[in-house]
Amino acid sequence: MELAAVYKALGRKRSCDLVKGVSMGALRTFGVYGAIKIRSRLRTLNRRKLASIAPRLWDRIQDGDKGLERDLTQAVLVSNIPMIVSVLDLLGIEHDGNGFFDKDGDYTDKFSEGWEARVVEHCRARFNDDLVLLYVNHLGWEAGVLDSPYLGKPAAVGQTDGE
C-alpha cells in the first residue's frame, strides 16, 4: 500500500483539513520544517500559507510525488505526538516517549486481528478521526501489515472524494 492511497481514500477535503493542523513549532522541533518548506515550494513557510496550498499538495501526492507524501505525513504526525504515544502505548510498542520506535524491530505480534479498530475506538474521544485514520494507515504502512487503506466503518469507505 502506498500513502497516496490513504490520502485518496480520505479525499481532498479531509486530507487538506489535516494539513491545516500542522504546527510550525513541531516541524522545527522534529527537524521537518526544512523538508516541508522545500517540498511545499514556498519561500516563506507558515501555517496560513501551508493551509492555503493544501489542495495543490494533495494534487501533487495524487500525481505520485512520493517525497511529498512521506514528508507531509511526517509533518501532520509530529504535530500530534500525544496521539502517537497513546496509540503505541495501546499496542504495546516500545518507544522513546515521543512516539519514535525502532523501525527495524519485529512488531508483528502487536498487530493482531482488529488492531486498527481498537486504535480508532481508543482514540475516538480525544483525537480527530481523520488524524487517527492517517496514523493507523501510516503505522500499518511502516510495519507492512496493511494492504489497502483502512477507513474504519464501512460507511466511511464511500467518502472518497471528500468534496
Q: Over the stretch 41-63, which tens digit does the pLDDT of each residue have? A: 999 999 999 999 999 999 999 99
Q: Model confidence at 35, in pLDDT bands (50, 70, 90)?
A: very high
The C-alpha cell of 104 is what?
A: 527495524
Mean pLDDT, rounded, of the chain: 91
Taking 50 as the threshold, does the pLDDT of residue 101 lie above it? yes
Contact criterion met (CB below 8 Å) for 8 and 156: no
**Range of weakest confidence among 16-25, 85-94, 140-149, 153-162:** 153-162
Query: Could you tell me if 140 and 27 are in contact, meaning their C-beta atoms sit under 8 angstroms apart?
Result: no
pLDDT higher than 80, residue 125: yes
Least confident of 79-83, 93-97, 158-162: 158-162
Distance set, CA 25 to CA 28, 53, 76, 121, 132 (Å)? 5, 19, 12, 29, 21
Give CA–CA dist 105/155, Å, rounded: 34
In angstroms, the CA 134 to CA 140 distance is: 10
Q: What is the pLDDT of residue 153?
A: 67
